[in-house]
Amino acid sequence: MTPDELEGAVAAGMPQAIQDLKRLASIPSIAFPGHPEEPVYAAAALTEALLRSAGLPHVRQIPVEGSFPAVYAEAPAPPGAPTVLLYAHYDVQPPGDPALWRTPAFEPTEIDGSLYGRGTADDKSGVISHVAALRAFQGRFPVGIKVIIEGQEEYAGERLEAFVNQNPELVRADAIIVADTGNPRVGDPSVTTSLRGMGAFTVEVRTLKESLHSGSFGGAAPDALAALIRMLAALHDDHGDVRVPGLPRGNFLGTGPSEEEFRTTAGVLNDVSLVGSGSLADRLWASYSITVTGLDVPTVSGAINAVQAVARARVTVRVPPAGDPKTTVNAVVDFLNQVAPWGVQVNVTDYTMGTGYLADTGGAARTALNRAMERAYGRPPRDVGAGGSIPLVSTLVKQFPAATILLFGAEDDGAAIHAPNERVNLEELHRTATTEALFLQEYGSTTI
């Protein structure tokens, strides 16, 4: 099949691919505790059906201990051709406050060339980009194909990591496409070559046997919430740089967004300053960052006049690719204990860790991707970093050090993933599927 024919086949299949994305994104596959499990299994079933429709001869759901099933598919490699593993996940983040959505989160709505809805970008666009690329070959694949679509990445991705460690031959490949990233801007071809790792924990502060009347005891009784606020505020200096010893700012060898681009994409309000120092690429992709992602304290609407006996916070730390998440989290926890005032009791629980990733930017697979992406977008790609983490990537690197891992996809920085009004640009989805199909064709000419 010529590149022109392949591009035409992808284009002809896009209307069906968009309808499939709407079907998949209408399923509230939230794999978090406390949410219904039936929709997650329904999304797994539909994902299985979609992979069968792509011409893959072997498709099945496989159990993952302590998690929802992964959907696995494979097609044998032609003689002498390499094998490519395709990854995405079918579970999604909770939608949050429905009032913040302009359209219902699980009623995918097409507006001005974009499809809005939870999971339309992260990461059901990844599922559909794989399906759309594979359909173009009508079952005659130029490389060996393996596909694994995860069912609980957003909450417990470490469970698939354990599965891969126990079953490495199932996913062994020469190149691995991770379709869970995207371009900084729509139409700006990029390959993600750097992922920050992450660590998270819950810190609890206790000061009293029980909360007390603030009129009778305030001014002398130690307030757990006030103590926690002081501790969390101490993590950053007045510029917003991390104050924890041993967590220096890093350097990213590439170009990041301009401040104007970042402010627009992030929705920073007028006259509100950005935080931290160094280039934006350094801050976003190569340095440590600490974010308080949740607080267990009385709500404003439910507030009573009381000195609080206990307060909790969830703290997330992003770690540069070369950093060690465990060492980093230990440094942050030690610092919080050091700055804790008034002898308060501090307890830290519920640790989560994930290692970062730094890619080798050479090799036959990356060369084939560069050519495919240049044809699909009209210009060659550039290397970018990502501040987020993909738990499976570090496991794949350890298991298959000779494999080339390629991170790209349809999730541009304006896609509002994990936020209200998530959307995927449908032309970006088309270009992503075209890139993948062209890559598979180009890489298929590589002998192993």
Q: How far is residue 56's CA from residue 71's CA, in Å, rounded to a whole number? A: 12
Query: CA 351, CA 348: separation in Å to the nearest integer?
Result: 8
Whether the CB-CB separation of 101 and 18 falls below 8 Å is answered with no
Cα gap 241→225, rounded to integer Å:
23
CA-wise closest residue to 389 among 142, 118, 180, 185: 180
- Residue 286 in contact with residue 251, Cβ under 8 Å? yes
Cβ contact 320:288 at 8 Å: yes
Residues 6+ positions from 168 with CB-CB distance below 8 Å: 399, 400
- Contact criterion met (CB below 8 Å) for 366 and 406: yes
- Sign of torsion, CA 87 142 446 409? negative
Nearest CA to 71 out of 28, 100, 40 is that of 40
Active site residues: 91, 153
